[in-house]
Amino acid sequence: MKVSAVRQALLLIALAFVPAIGEAIYFRNKVSWQSPVPASELVTVDQARSWGDNVIWVDARPDNEFEGDHIPGAILLNEDRWTDLLPQLLGQWSPEKKVVVYCSAQSCNASREVAKRLRDEAQLRNVFVLDGGWEEWLRNKR
């Protein structure tokens, strides 16, 4: 019996749920199901400022944006020049420091990526992402 394209499609759509649900169960504790960055890893501008000199600001934007303007004292560390730029951050880091990574805005992904690499590859703890990024810093500039 010939099965129409739509029925075939519906069957494929239903079949795909099986491995997808299995994988979701496997990853259930490794994924933030409600927000892209777990709340525990996000900080506001005010929170980060309250940490005073214990903060290392990390700018994850492209070189030209960093050179245009950046948070005072921030270190440039983007994925394009990761290997070249990481040593400068590591030279300033110590276990009691908190690292706050930002990129241009809430919508950009670079800060999340850099923060993830700092935790996974550089094995740093206390790495956070600035909520709202550079745009939020500018809005809160005093």
Partner 1 sequence: MDLPSRDILWRIVALIIGGIFIYAGVIKAMDPVAFANDIDNYKILPWPLVVRLAFYLPWLELLCGLALILRFFYRGGLFILTGLTFVFIAASVIAKVRGLDITCGCFGHASKNWNFSGHLALDLAILAALSALWISNRTSATRKL
Footprint on this chain of partner 1 (rule: CB under 8 A): 3-13, 15-17, 19-21, 23-24, 27, 30-36, 107-109, 112-113
Pair 60, 114: CB distance under 8 Å? yes
In the DSSP assignment, the letter for residue 63 is H
- Residue with Cβ nearer partner 1 (31 or 52): 31
Q: Which is nearer to partner 1, 14 or 142 (CB)?
A: 14
Q: CA 60 to CA 36: how far, in whole Å?
A: 17
The Cα angle at residue 124 between residues 122 and 129, in degrees rounded to 5? 105
Taking the complex as a whole, the smallest distance from the CB of residue 21 to partner 1 amounts, in Å, to 8
Cβ proximity to partner 1, 16 vs 90, nearer residue = 16
- The CA distance from 3 to 76, in Å, is 58
Sequence-ordered strand ranges (E) for 1-142: 42-43, 55-59, 75-76, 98-102, 127-130
Reading the block at residue 141, the tokens are 């500039």
Q: How far is the CB of 67 from partner 1 (least distance, A)?
A: 17
Question: From the CB of 6, what's the least distance to partner 1, in Å?
Answer: 7
Residue 5 C-beta: closest distance to partner 1, Å: 4
Comparison of 18 and 142: residue with beta carbon closer to partner 1: 18
